[in-house]
Amino acid sequence: MRSTFKILTLIGTLCFVGLSASFSSFAVSEKKVEESEPEKGPNRGRMLRKGDFAIELAIFETGVPPEFRVWATMDGKAIDPSKVELNVKLSRLGDGIDDINFYQEGEYLRGDMVIYEPHSFLVSLYAKYQGQTYDWQYDNFEGRTKIADDIALAMEIVTDFVAPSTFHETVEVYGRLILPADATSNVYARFDGLVEKVHVKLGDSVTKGQLLFTVESNESLQSYKVLSAQNGIVTKVNVTSGEQSKGRSLLQITNDKTLIAELAVFPKNLSTIRLGARTTLTINGVEAKKVSTIDSRILKVRDDQAKLFRVLVNNPDSVLSEGLFVSADIEIDSYDVAMAVERKALQSFRDFTVVYAKVGNEYEVRMLELGRVVGDEIEVLSGISIGTEYVTENSYILKADIEKSGASHDH
């Protein structure tokens, strides 16, 4: 009995471990290995040693853009920098290799190029002193993580590519739908008489030439037909069979295939609005947006000082109705930008605003200098290359994974 209990306990434990491992592989991109901190030198740089020869490589950024500075020692004693030949190559994720040479400046060697952010790269250092060569290689990654494509798909991580864009600056206004002045027509009997039969009812759709009434003339006592002069919907019926026409409107037909959005523009925005401006309408209760242009305006302002601008709205399927509330984005300017990303892709990293670039199954921060914001996009001035694949959806997952790793870089 005890043997059976032990076996069942072991099976349960193995199942739990298996489930935990499966969940861990889904939720965490890559197990982070604890590493000891690299040795630091007196100038807060990384110490690289080969026998008695040592290099201290530091990123210096006090009062200058980030750059490398190097101090060399032999058996713990400073070496004349002019006696050391040095080269550093930085292999970046998807961004090529920075090839840095050095020249003497005082008691140290100074790199000849700026080390731009992120400071995340594979470092290869080559030194020559007194005819002997030394080399080191180490990774200095930050803001980087690895996630297998199938896991990224399961996490719904979505990407796009950095590209040029056309920005459309807009003003948001509000209004409602109305019918054009000529949308409704009244139908009369040509000759007064007895309405023998009404052939349509309220709400019916009618077409031009369709029979509406049969009327018996009071003068000739002859019956004649009253036909529709337009397409539309019967919106009012004023007579029933057996009544006299009496010179009145017997029926109204409204053509609603075109409506008008009357949009209220207040004084602070009046100077920016132009006839013909592209307008995107969001109509209450209707999912699809309508795109049109400003067709006309009403000269008189309302009591609240708003001026009404009118936009023609096609309504071929009669989905829209008079009186519906609308909001509208009226374009006031349009211009091209060299690079843009989606605003929802932005995350914070240290003191920077970043997006996450994707190279293969690796993701890494790109520190951005940003420009103008229009709608869902933001202009990028620098920090990423055009054509770079970057994360647009669920980038917070990458941020959380990177923050969990606690990776830092040499400064």
Element containing residue 103 per DSSP (H, E): strand 97-105
Q: pLDDT (tens digit, 9 = 90+) per residue, 233-284?
A: 999 999 999 999 999 999 999 999 999 999 999 999 999 999 999 999 999 8
Domain ranges, ordered by start, for the chain? 46-142, 149-166+336-408, 171-178+257-334, 184-254
The encoded tokens of residue 36 equal 């000891």
Distance, CA of 249 to CA of 184 (rounded, Å): 12
Query: What is the bridge-based pairing of β-strands 84-91 and 352-359?
Result: unpaired
Q: Report whether pLDDT(397) > 90.
A: yes
Question: pLDDT exceeding 90 applies to what percent of the chain?
Answer: 85
Q: Report whether pLDDT(12) > 80.
A: no
Q: pLDDT (tens digit, 9 = 90+) per residue, 98-155?
A: 999 999 999 999 999 999 999 999 999 999 999 999 999 999 999 999 999 999 999 9
For residue 64, the tally of other CB atoms under 10 A from its CB is 9
Segment 158-175 mean pLDDT: 96
Residue 147 · residue 29 · CB < 8 Å: yes
Residue 361 · residue 152 · CB < 8 Å: yes
Q: Report whether pLDDT(409) > 80.
A: no
Residue 278 · residue 168 · CB < 8 Å: yes
pTM (predicted TM-score): 0.70
Distance, CA of 206 to CA of 225 (rounded, Å): 15
- Out of 2.40.30.170, 3.40.190.10, 2.40.160.60, 2.40.70.10, which CATH number does the structure's domain 171-178+257-334 have? 2.40.30.170
Distance, CA of 64 to CA of 66 (rounded, Å): 6
CATH number listed for the domain at residues 149-166+336-408: 2.40.420.20
Q: pLDDT (tens digit, 9 = 90+) per residue, 337-367?
A: 999 999 999 999 999 999 999 999 999 999 9
* Residue with tokens 């009544």, as numbered in its chain: 243
Architecture of the domain whose range is 184-254: Beta Barrel (2.40)
* 46-142 topology per CATH: Immunoglobulin-like (2.60.40)
